[in-house]
Amino acid sequence: MEDVLAEVGGSKSTMYKHFGDKTELFRAAVESLLDEGTAPLRSFTPGGTDLTSTLIALGEHFATVVLNPGSIALHRLVTAEAERVPGLGAAFFEHGPAFGQAVLGRYLRQACDAGLIALPDPVKAAAQLYQAMLGDAQMRLLTGAPNQPTGAEIRESIVDAVDFFLHGVSRRPAGGTDARRA
């Protein structure tokens, strides 16, 4: 608390009046960091109708935001403190992953509306694609796994995830079986 006051000035009473307590200040600081970190996503504008290129570009935006050392450190900190600080995990998810997934979901809905793709649930598809693009690299970075992903590997994962998302792994004959109904 003293470090924060030394940096921004003011008094403890003013800070407690505004934030209530240390945990509320911590939660507000995490939200602020996440909002600052997701700023590049706020300015993302899809270009043209090339779905593949746009999804890859969006995945690269996500990677820049999610996989940088500061974001990884913040994710570790929030994970460690989430049980102790009420609302911290929810705030992190809302201002971080859910925000990114919402950006992707809006784009997928626009692509559906334009007739480029057909998805029963673009929001759910966005969450799945988001994890497919970043999940492995993020987990390796969060856990300090021995094989840290390179920039080229991250891009390859994004490209592979987009290809898998758009084309799947098998061809279904007309009237073929859907795994959800099998």
Q: DSSP code of 172? A: P
The answer to whether 1 and 14 are in contact (CB under 8 A) is: no
How sure is the predictor about 47, in pLDDT bands with cuts at 50, 70 and 90?
Answer: low
Q: How high is the mean pLDDT of the chain?
A: 83
Whether the predicted pLDDT of 73 surpasses 60: yes
Count up the domains in the chain and report the number: 1
Q: What pLDDT is stored for residue 30 in this prediction?
A: 76
Cβ neighbours of 43 (radius 10 Å): 7
Domain boundaries, position 89: 2-168
**CATH at residue 51:** 1.10.357.10
pLDDT tens column, 92-112: 898 889 989 999 999 999 999
Average pLDDT over residues 37-54: 78
Residue 120 lies in a domain: yes
Residue 121 phi, psi (nearest 5): -145, 90
